[in-house]
């Protein structure tokens, strides 16, 4: 029986842009796509935002429902919702990136090429609004937009493509080409019979390759925590060089059913991970508990204490943030105050809070204040600190061979010694950067034999 295709055909597109300065271009893109791609529908905010609804949740819901995201970025940062540090345009981009974190992402970024008619037009439109603002506010908006575009460039540096255009006519054509080219890719994959999950290895399985040091250290730390009956919570840091398997290890943790049986597991990231207020709002939303009033650590501690009365909670954050001092911000403004606030609440049960945070850089040596890297199961552990697991490292052929032997029991995949050697050698050559290993393992297709 056929399974769901790898990538869906694009029918509904979320078009994100600052509304006023980009009005001409975004409406032109919408009209051109509607006129030339029969099945495609482009959504602009004014088409679906209803009076009385909060813009932020409505926008996020629309991003989640659309088949593709298209970001048309000019030179205004735009409106920032209450209790957020990012504009609604940046939030929409972050939601799209988070939604399509795995596999191929239908995220299309459209930018004017420097020195062209399009750049001049968008700069002039942005200036019209900046001229109406106090000089300090206008400069703050320009600086925020420069920082946002720099983060988009960083996102695109990992093999993703931004589309640059010279004028409105070229913008229309290239926006439509993004959609048609994607749909042709769907057709080609369907023709060759490539279907979802038939040979793709589960990311949780990939996440445990070569991670025995991290898993062993974590198990010892968890057992030590549970022996200390008065402790309510612990936080752990997953870290290592960029692209060294952080996301795969997170998937392993999320699917670690033997350890988390009966617990409430929540995985994702806050809209603004460097902000304690945003982390509080995200945690409350994950718990399904409305937070009335200002987001405070004390309010969150109250909600968590109620939940912990009945079961333990596992929070897994996919990123520590983007600021240079992100780890210190998390420990000082979120974790330490939360741990202290929980300690003042009546226990009311044996549930505990287990918090995990991934950082895509290695922890400094020696570690900063508030972080512990050694003897995570010792009697003198201060759980107001973040407990850093051993750093993620490159994968070796031996580690892959051991995993290929293990999956006979865990997944029913049988490979003889020659097959294991050949796969392990290929997967870790020419380097052991985990994404390359993971991609090459999938190319073999042996996972299709999994029971």
pLDDT band for position 4 (cuts 50, 70, 90): very low
Contact 28, 36 (CB under 8 A): no
Q: Give the closest residue to 393 by CA, choosing from 269, 263, 238.
A: 238
- DSSP symbol at 209: T
Task: State how far Cα 373 lies from the chain centre.
Answer: 25
Query: Among 193-202, 208-217, 265-274, 407-416, which stretch is predicted with the lowest mean pLDDT?
Result: 193-202
Residues 215-226 pLDDT 10s: 999 999 999 999
pLDDT at 296: 93
Same fold, 12-191 and 204-388: yes
Six-digit token string for 317: 């954050």
Contact 298, 341 (CB under 8 A): yes
pLDDT at 138: 94
Residues 6+ apart with CB under 8 A from 309: 348, 349, 351
pLDDT at 195: 37
Query: Among 7-11, 56-60, 261-265, 269-273, which stretch is predicted with the lowest mean pLDDT?
Result: 7-11
Six-digit token string for 369: 């204040």
209 burial (CB, 10 Å; 0-12 / 13-18 / 19+) is buried
Contact 315, 286 (CB under 8 A): yes
Return the sign of the alpha-carbon dihedral for residues 331, 333, 334, 339.
Answer: positive
Residues 317-340 pLDDT 10s: 999 988 899 999 999 999 999 999
98-102 long-range contacts (CB < 8 A, ≥24 apart) are 98/268, 98/269, 98/318, 99/63, 99/64, 100/69, 101/247, 101/318, 102/203
- State the average pLDDT over residues 46-63: 67
Q: How many CB atoms lie within 10 A of CB 61?
A: 13
* Cα dihedral 388→269→271→369 (10° resolution): -10
Per the prediction, the chain carries an average pLDDT of 87
Rg of the chain over Cα atoms, rounded to whole angstroms, equals 24
Contact 111, 119 (CB under 8 A): no
Give the three-state DSSP class for 126: helix
- Identify the CATH class of 12-191: alpha beta
pLDDT at 54: 63
Instruction: Return d(Cα 47, Cα 37) in angstroms, integer.
Output: 19
pLDDT at 39: 81
Which position has the higher pLDDT, 185 or 127? 127
79, 145, 256 from 45: Cα distances, Å? 13, 20, 40
pLDDT band for position 159 (cuts 50, 70, 90): low
pLDDT at 217: 97
- Please report how many Cα atoms fall inside a 13 Å half-sphere around the Cα of residue 374, on the Cβ side: 3
pLDDT band for position 341 (cuts 50, 70, 90): very high
pLDDT at 49: 46
Query: Among 128-132, 344-348, 412-416, which stretch is predicted with the lowest mean pLDDT?
Result: 344-348
Q: Where are the domains of the chain?
A: 12-191, 204-388, 394-449
Residues 410-431 pLDDT 10s: 778 888 999 999 999 999 987 7
Residues 92-113 pLDDT 10s: 999 999 988 766 789 999 999 9
Residues 294-315 pLDDT 10s: 889 999 999 899 889 888 999 9
| pTM as predicted | 0.60
pLDDT at 203: 82
Six-digit token string for 86: 């990012």
Beta strands in 124-205, from DSSP E residues, in sequence order: 162-165
C-alpha angle 243-211-409 in degrees, rounded to nearest 5:
120
pLDDT at 5: 41
Q: Helices marked H in 192-269 — which ranges?
A: 203-206, 212-227, 246-254, 257-260
Residues 6+ apart with CB under 8 A from 249: 207, 208, 211, 214, 238, 358, 392
- Give the position of tokens 């051109």: 32
27, 43, 119, 222, 359 from 164: Cα distances, Å? 18, 21, 10, 50, 31
Query: Among 129-143, 179-193, 347-361, which stretch is predicted with the lowest mean pLDDT?
Result: 179-193
90, 179, 200, 317 from 184: Cα distances, Å? 29, 9, 22, 35
Give the three-state DSSP class for 19: coil
Instruction: Return d(Cα 218, Cα 220) in angstroms, integer.
Output: 5
- DSSP symbol at 195: B
pLDDT at 250: 93
pLDDT at 51: 42
Instruction: Please state which CATH number belongs to domain 204-388.
Output: 3.40.50
Check pLDDT > 90 for residue 237.
yes
Six-digit token string for 190: 């369907």
Residues 81-96 pLDDT 10s: 887 889 999 999 999 9
């Amino acid at each position: 029986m056929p399974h769901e295709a790898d990538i869906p055909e694009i029918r509904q597109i979320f078009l994100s842009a600052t509304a006023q300065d980009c009005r001409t271009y975004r409406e032109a893109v919408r009209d051109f796509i509607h006129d030339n791609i029969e099945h495609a529908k482009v959504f602009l905010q004014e088409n679906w935002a209803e009076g009385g609804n909060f813009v932020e949740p409505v926008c996020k819901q629309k991003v989640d429902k659309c088949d593709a995201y298209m970001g048309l970025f000019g030179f205004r940062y735009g409106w920032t919702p209450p209790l957020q540090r990012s504009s609604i345009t940046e939030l929409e981009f972050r939601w799209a990136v988070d939604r399509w974190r795995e596999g191929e992402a239908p995220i299309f970024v459209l930018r004017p090429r420097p020195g062209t008619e399009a750049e001049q037009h968008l700069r002039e439109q942005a200036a019209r609004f900046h001229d109406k603002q106090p000089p300090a506010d206008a400069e703050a908006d320009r600086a925020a937009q420069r920082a946002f575009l720099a983060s988009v460039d960083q996102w695109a540096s990992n093999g993703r493509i931004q589309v640059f255009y010279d004028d409105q006519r070229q913008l229309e054509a290239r926006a439509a080409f993004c959609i048609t080219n994607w749909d042709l890719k769907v057709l080609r994959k369907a023709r060759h019979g490539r279907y979802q999950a038939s040979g793709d290895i589960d990311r949780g399985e990939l996440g445990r390759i070569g991670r025995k040091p991290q898993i062993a250290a974590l198990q010892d730390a968890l057992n030590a925590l549970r022996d200390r009956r008065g402790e309510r919570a612990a936080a752990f840091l997953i870290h290592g060089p960029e692209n060294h398997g952080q996301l795969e290890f997170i998937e392993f943790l999320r699917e670690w059913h033997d350890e988390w049986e009966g617990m409430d597991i929540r995985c994702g990231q806050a809209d603004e991970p460097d902000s304690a207020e945003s982390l509080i709002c995200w945690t409350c939303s994950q718990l399904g508990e409305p937070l009335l009033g200002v987001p405070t650590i004390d309010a969150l501690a109250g909600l968590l204490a109620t939940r912990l009365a009945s079961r333990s909670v596992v929070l897994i954050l996919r990123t520590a943030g983007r600021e240079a001092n992100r780890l210190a911000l998390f420990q000082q403004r979120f974790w330490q105050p939360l741990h202290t606030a929980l300690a003042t609440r009546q226990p009311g049960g044996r549930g505990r809070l287990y918090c995990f945070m991934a950082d895509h850089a290695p922890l400094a040596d020696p570690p900063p204040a508030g972080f512990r890297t050694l003897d995570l199961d010792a009697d003198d552990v201060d759980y107001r600190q973040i407990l850093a697991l051993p750093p993620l490292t490159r994968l070796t052929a031996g580690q892959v061979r051991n995993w290929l032997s293990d999956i006979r029991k865990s997944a029913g995949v049988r490979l003889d010694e020659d097959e294991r050697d050949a796969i392990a050698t290929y997967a870790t050559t020419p380097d052991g950067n985990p994404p390359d290993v993971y991609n090459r393992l999938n190319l073999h297709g042996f996972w299709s034999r999994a029971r």
